[in-house]
Structure 1
Amino acid sequence: MFGFQRLEIYQLSKEIVKIAYSMTRKFPNGERYALVQQMNRAAVSISSNIAEGTSRASNKEQAYFISIAYGSLMELICQSEIAYDMDYISALELDKFIQNAEVLSIKMSKYKKYLKEKRY
């Protein structure tokens, strides 16, 4: 098992991917190459950047990749709200996603702070 696979934020980010893919599966075909693709890429970007960041040598570099992952999460929140506004997802689906996103965002922020304060 690789180090990133043990991180709680990585495990939570994979849940976000599942939720995003579940939501976009029901979007109209006209969104296949627009909002669907953008949401799925943003979701995968979160997990990918967490994983990539752990391979970096310095805590500063690792924190940088957590920042990128955090930005992708914020992008996905925005896109989910747009999907709700367009009636592609229900209020219940949006709420479930937002709850998961809030938990992940808090834990990512704490992990980034930990990395910045950690000294070797």
Structure 2
Amino acid sequence: MGRPHFRFEDLEVWQDASELAVACHRVADDLVERKWFRYAEQLRSAGLSPSNNIAEGSASHHDKEFVQFLNIARRSTAELASMALTFEKIGFLADPSVSLILELADKVGRKLTNLIRHLG
């Protein structure tokens, strides 16, 4: 008997959002090494938000409710982009970390927008 399989695991946008979360965690590890614990924790938390909201919304019984969660996930990708750009300006992050987060957040945001349009 295998482990349970959830609906969201089959969604390409969730898979990409999960990749974004992993990238944020890896970048946060660098912040921890430099003793910037609070910023690392903020990045980790924000990095998990898109995939978690997609997963939570996928358990909805109605598309309208699912779209609400997808919108939250999409806004979270913008939050991540803002964090990456601001952390870069402060000097906490540099390329390629910033570019990686921006590229993945943009990819996920675009897929979320397309899915929202499809469901709406």
TM-score of the aligned structures, taking structure 2 as reference length: 0.88
Counterpart secondary structure, 2:92: coil
Q: Distance in 1 between matches of 2:90 and 2:28?
A: 12
Q: Which runs of 5+ in 2 are unaligned?
A: none
Q: Secondary structure at the match of 1:91?
A: coil
The match for 1:24 is 28
Matched residues in 1 for 2:12 and 2:37: separation? 31
Q: Which runs of 4+ in 1 moved over 6 A?
A: none
- Separation (CA, whole Å) in 1 of partners of 2:43 and 2:94: 16
State how many pairs are aligned: 114
Q: Distance in 1 between the 2:69 and 2:42 partners?
A: 19
How big is the shift at 1:81?
0.9
Gaps of 5+ in 1: none
SS in 2 for 1:102: helix
Q: 1:64-101 CA distances to partner (integer Å, 9 max, x unpaired)?
A: 00011111111111111112112222222211221121
Partner of 2:107: 103
What TM-score, normalized to structure 1? Answer: 0.88
- Over aligned residue pairs, what C-alpha RMSD do you find? 1.2
Between the aligned residues of both structures, percent identity stands at 23
Distance between the aligned counterparts of 2:47 and 2:95, measured in 1?
Answer: 19
Aligned residue runs from structure 1 range 14-93, under 5 A? 14-27=18-31, 28-29=34-35, 31-33=36-38, 35-93=39-97
